[in-house]
A and B are shown apart, each in its own frame.
Chain A
Amino acid sequence: MINSILRFGLIFILLILLQVLLLNNIQFSGYINPYVYVLFILLLPVEIPSWLLLLLSFATGLIMDFFSGSPGMHSSATVVAGFVRPYILRGVSPRDGYDPGSDPSMLTYGFRWFLTYTLLIVLVHHTALFYLEVFRFTDFFRTMLRVLLSSLFSITFIIFIEFYRRGK
């Protein structure tokens, strides 16, 4: 128990630092802003009670908001992601179900499963985030393009991180 709290604390800090110090400073163009901190919400254990999942998602978003000076924007997107996660997990569950006490990571359930899972949650999160950022529906399709391009980059980064973790 203590062990896993420490492990997730470490993952959390590393991801936030990666996002704030590196990725927030990469400014490709107005279209591509990868947000990999979602990986934290992805990796929490399968059997985590959903109230805790929601609270942790909210905390993640709130910290991102502190660093980007955008109160409420990241938090509302991460809470949406935390809310849909159980439904998505149920939807993509592997044939034999989930092993008790496991993390939904690439190490445990393989590349293809993890890609589908990541794709769905990252899309939900980014859609919420980018539409909340502009807060209007004019230029609807341009915002959608930003969602798709940024999701592509976030997912690539997340897969890279997972490969790195597996390699270790």
Chain B
Amino acid sequence: MRNLLNFLARNNNLIIFLILEGIAFYLLTTGNNYHNTRVVNGIRGLTRGIQEKINNTRTYLNLREINEILAAENVALRNSIGRLVKRENLLFFSVSDSIFQQQYLHTSAEVINNSINRQKNFFTLNKGERQAVKVDMAVTSGNSVAGVIVGCSENYSVAMSLLNLDFKLSARIKSNGYLGSLNWDGRDYHHAILSEIPQHVSVIVGDTIETTGYSAIFPEGVMVGTISDFEKIGGDFYKITISLATDFKKLHFVGVIGNLKKTEQLELEKLFQ
């Protein structure tokens, strides 16, 4: 006993070190989970005020560019409204409607905090549960993939950016329909990697990559990017480098897409697993 106490007294540094390191590792392993909302509710609450101030400044500096993007988007939307009204003369249809079977619900949000320089990047949106944003909804910027919502508080939500080593997406080559799995390799924010495309498929630089809609998160046919380079690696697959369509450095106004039939699809699929 005495020896033990002596040992403790001599090594109290090491013990404090181990205890603190233990606390840090506990936080590290439990707090960074994919679907962990504690990060959102507890920790982000403390620093949100400062983040919003930083964001306000940044928004002000980018106003001109944002206006241009919004104007372009307005034009595109007006055009599609025009087409809808002419053909069906029905602009409003509700979710519970059994005739039209609307599957995707769109809303928009503003990015108030974003990072691209880590290996696991997240961004924060200014809409949350009160605005009907839920976990597992898709986030798009323009018409291209940006991320997936992983946590919501009342008025805010946090999305896992495509620029995150844990992000996985089912994507395909638009021209021939072959599908592979897309993830980020942590190198730079312009490029991601599409793998699992077999080598007998013809791959051309410049081909469009889009989502498949298999994951029940992203709708089918959302743009991911274009092929910028490809190489044959061991085995039978290509390693295709994709130049991303979304500029994550400028991410600001984003669209949030909810799949109204996701639960139905997942429940059905669960029966066969």
Q: Flag if B189 contacts A76 (CB, 8 Å).
A: no
A142 to B50, CA, bound (A): 33
* Contacting residue for A58 out of B24, B50, B189, CB 8 A: B24
Interface residues in B1-56 by Cβ distance below 8 A to A read: 12-13, 16-17, 20-21, 23-32, 39, 43-44, 46-47, 50, 54
Whether, in the assembled complex, A79 has its beta carbon less than 8 Å from a beta carbon of chain B, the answer is yes
Whether, in the assembled complex, B120 has its beta carbon less than 8 Å from a beta carbon of chain A, the answer is yes
* Contacting residue for B50 out of A20, A50, A61, A133, CB 8 A: A20
Q: How far is the CB of B38 from chain A (nearest CB, A)?
A: 8
* Known pairs A50-B13, A83-B13; A65 contacts B44 (CB<8 A): no
A3 to B101, CA, bound (A): 70
Q: Chain B: which residue is nearest A61 at the CB level?
A: B24
From B23, B50, B117, name the one whose CB has the most chain A CB atoms within 10 angstroms: B117
Q: Chain A: which residue is nearest B114 at the CB level?
A: A27
* Extra A-B contacts (20), CB below 8 Å, given A54-B17, A67-B50: A20-B50, A21-B50, A21-B54, A27-B115, A33-B117, A50-B16, A54-B16, A54-B20, A58-B23, A66-B43, A72-B23, A72-B29, A72-B31, A75-B27, A76-B24, A76-B28, A133-B120, A134-B165, A139-B185, A142-B187
Whether, in the assembled complex, B143 has its beta carbon less than 8 Å from a beta carbon of chain A, the answer is no
Whether, in the assembled complex, B198 has its beta carbon less than 8 Å from a beta carbon of chain A, the answer is no
Whether, in the assembled complex, A155 has its beta carbon less than 8 Å from a beta carbon of chain B, the answer is no
* Known pairs A71-B39, A75-B23, A79-B20; A30 contacts B186 (CB<8 A): yes
Q: How far is the CB of A57 from chain B (nearest CB, A)?
A: 8
Number of interface residues of B (CB under 8 A): 38
Fill in one digit per residue for A10-45: 1 if any B CB lies within 8 Å of its CB, else 0.
000000000011001101111011000000000000
A131 to B39, CA, bound (A): 21
* Known pairs A66-B46, A71-B43; A28 contacts B17 (CB<8 A): no
Whether, in the assembled complex, A141 has its beta carbon less than 8 Å from a beta carbon of chain B, the answer is no
* Known pairs A73-B28, A76-B28, A79-B20; A134 contacts B43 (CB<8 A): no
Q: How far is the CB of B267 from chain A (nearest CB, A)?
A: 33
- Interface residues of chain A, those whose CB is within 8 Å of chain B, are 20-21, 24-25, 27-30, 32-33, 50-51, 54-55, 57-58, 61, 65-73, 75-76, 79-80, 82-83, 86, 132-134, 139, 142
Inter-chain contacts of B27 with A (CB < 8 A): 65, 71-72, 75
Interface residues in B84-142 by Cβ distance below 8 A to A read: 115-120, 122
Inter-chain contacts of B119 with A (CB < 8 A): 30, 133-134
* Contacting residue for B32 out of A25, A54, A66, A70, CB 8 A: A70
* Known pairs A72-B26, A75-B23, A79-B21; A51 contacts B13 (CB<8 A): yes
Lowest 7 A-B CB distances belong to which pairs? A72-B28, A72-B27, A71-B31, A76-B24, A71-B27, A75-B24, A27-B117
Inter-chain contacts of A134 with B (CB < 8 A): 119, 165, 186
Q: Flag if B54 contacts A76 (CB, 8 Å).
A: no
Q: Flag if B17 contacts A29 (CB, 8 Å).
A: no
* Contacting residue for A66 out of B24, B47, B117, CB 8 A: B47
Inter-chain contacts of A76 with B (CB < 8 A): 21, 24-25, 28
Q: How far is the CB of B205 from chain A (nearest CB, A)?
A: 23
From B29, B118, B165, name the one whose CB has the most chain A CB atoms within 10 angstroms: B118
* Known pairs A66-B46, A72-B31, A134-B165; A27 contacts B116 (CB<8 A): yes
A29 to B24, CA, bound (A): 27
Q: How far is the CB of B128 from chain A (nearest CB, A)?
A: 16
A71 to B37, CA, bound (A): 12
Whether, in the assembled complex, B188 has its beta carbon less than 8 Å from a beta carbon of chain A, the answer is yes
Question: Could you pull out 22 A-B pairs where Cβ atoms are within 8 angstroms?
Answer: A21-B54, A27-B117, A50-B16, A54-B16, A58-B20, A61-B24, A65-B27, A66-B43, A66-B46, A69-B39, A70-B120, A71-B30, A71-B31, A72-B28, A72-B32, A79-B17, A82-B17, A133-B118, A133-B120, A134-B186, A142-B186, A142-B187
From A27, A32, A50, name the one whose CB has the most chain B CB atoms within 10 angstroms: A27
A68 to B47, CA, bound (A): 9
